[in-house]
Every structure is written in C-alpha cells, then in structure tokens.
Structure 1
C-alpha cells in the first residue's frame, strides 16, 4: 500500500465514491451530483497550498483517498480525512493510509498537530484512530448534519511529539 498525489485520471474513482450517500455521510457531506462539478473542484484546488489530496492504492489499484485539509502554516496544524472504498474496508488500509498521511504532515509539511473529526457512533474508525495514537480532545454536540439528522462529532488529535513512525 502507498499513497500518491491525486491526479486528474483518478477523478472517475472519486466520482464513484462521492456519489455514495453512505460514504459521504461519514464525511458529513452531500454526495456530488455531477462529474463536471468534480472536475471544476479539482482544477480550482490542484494548486491550493492549504490542502493535499492523496490516492491510496495497492498494486496500482485504487483503494481510497486520504486528505490533509486546512493546512495552517502559522499554527502548524491540519485536518486529516480518509475514505476507503467499501470493497477494501477491513483489510487494514485505513490504518496504513492514516499513518502515511500523518507522517507526511509531520515530516514533510512540518506540522505540529494533525486532527480529525469522527462521528461518535463510528466505533470502528475511533478504534483505528486510537490505535494509531490519536487522542480524544472533545465532543462537538450536534455539530454535523448528515442523513437527515444532526450528529455529535468527536475531535481527535495528535501532536508531532506523540507520533511514532
């Protein structure tokens, strides 16, 4: 398994994932409705220095996406997000991809902190994040709206001094 920068050729895979209501609900977002919109978003963000998007792949097969968002150069922190395609869940890819994204944030971007948000009911993801070393920082009540209701979200974080490569 490796991560590599997202490229335009990957958009059909992203389009498939982002049109899944079940998948996008985990990110507390609506599914995209058009490929044209996705292409425009790619073009608009490809040079944006406040984010990095990576494809998770194994033997050149698309597995998912890991993203560093809201990269803050002054405060040296960034949010990490991940989606593993449902066909590949349960194989350890999420853990490996989060580790790789976190390592990139600390060792390449020189971040001080990496943080994430996770639905308090997503026990599998919380288990993975804790196993990697993320620490619960608090609960945001009714913070995200997805699938017709408000969800409590746990904020978790890791400082560079807590990172074990």
Structure 2
C-alpha cells in the first residue's frame, strides 16, 4: 500500500517517457487487460506520440510515486458534445498492489470532472480481473453491463464489463 510518506502524482506524458511506456506495452500480462496485442516498437510509439500530441480528445498521464514512473493513466475518445470519455490505466507489474491505481484513478477523475467538465467516464475491464473491478467500484464506478466474449486473450475469448461513473456521483463522494 502507498503509505502516508509516498507522494503519488500525475503529470502529462512526455516524449522522454516513451521507453517506459514501451516496456509496459510489450508486457503480455499488462496488455492482456488492455485487450491489445503485446507488441509495439518504440519507433511506432514515437510516431503515435507525434501524431497525437495536440489531439484534444486525449489526455495521457504518467503516474509517479516519489518521482518514479509507476504507471500510465489515460482519458481517451473525449467527446466534448456528449461530455464523456473512456478511462484506461496501467500500473507496472512491479508496482501493483501498492494503492497507486486507486489514487491515480481518483486524481484523473478529478481532472475529468473538475477541469474538463465531463459528465460521464466509462471503462471496459476484463470481467475476471477482480482486483481492478474492486478498485473501480471503490472509487465509485458502477457496472453498466457485460459484453460477452468481447476480446481474445491468453488463448480464449473473455467477457468485458463496462463500468461508468457520473460527474455528480464523483463530486458527491
């Protein structure tokens, strides 16, 4: 658990962070939960970064604990008309179980609702990822439904649970 002496912050993703992101994106255990193939070159990540650096529909943050990168949290597909977006998070395997995911989730939701004035933030999570579902529920996300056999990972089709939180519910907490 992140103790009281540990400082957890979010900061914008920078080009210098791409080697760290590259390590995360090439870890099969990590990417299984992002419904993505664990294979991406650093050159490809750099091209994606360059293409999306000014994209107003995305906010990407590095999660730092005591000034060390421990994960990545994103608000993507931001829709300013309907005021919603998708939430995504990765905590590096060596830093999981320390409370960083919950803290980072609360901080990015504070940004989504307090700065971007979004109405709703949603996510998809592997139904069998009980630890993640627990964290999301603890923060205030509620289940909207289950997408059956939505993605293929680790040799079989898996269900995904869609969860969401509204601005009013987050601010009331």
The separation in 2 between residues aligned to 1:6 and 1:104, in whole angstroms, is 15
Q: Secondary structure at the match of 1:163?
A: helix
* 1:61 aligns to 2:68 (yes or no): yes
User: Match for residue 158 of structure 1?
Assistant: 165
| Structure 2 gap ranges (5+) | 1-7
Quote the offset at 1:158 in angstroms: 0.4
Deviations 1:23-78 (A, max 9, x none): 00110001233111111011111111111100000121011000001100110001
The separation in 2 between residues aligned to 1:52 and 1:32, in whole angstroms, is 22
The separation in 2 between residues aligned to 1:45 and 1:71, in whole angstroms, is 13
**Correspondence for 1:103 among 95, 110, 127:** 110
**RMSD over equivalenced CA pairs, Å:** 1.0
Quote the offset at 1:133 in angstroms: 0.5
How many pairs align?
165
* 1:30 aligns to 2:30 (yes or no): no
Task: List aligned pairs for 1:126-137, cutoff 5 A.
Answer: 126-137=133-144
Quote the offset at 1:148 in angstroms: 2.8
The separation in 2 between residues aligned to 1:10 and 1:144, in whole angstroms, is 28
User: Match for residue 12 of structure 1?
Assistant: 19
Q: Runs of 4+ in structure 1 displaced over 3 angstroms?
A: none
Q: TM-score with structure 2 length normalisation?
A: 0.93
Whether the 8 Å CA contact 1:118–1:154 is kept in 2: the answer is: yes
The separation in 1 between residues aligned to 2:9 and 2:97, in whole angstroms, is 17
**Correspondence for 1:78 among 80, 85, 97:** 85
Q: TM-score with structure 1 length normalisation?
A: 0.97
**Correspondence for 2:154 among 147, 159, 163:** 147
* 1:124 aligns to 2:134 (yes or no): no
Quote the offset at 1:122 in angstroms: 0.5
User: Match for residue 42 of structure 1?
Assistant: 49
The separation in 1 between residues aligned to 2:128 and 2:77, in whole angstroms, is 25
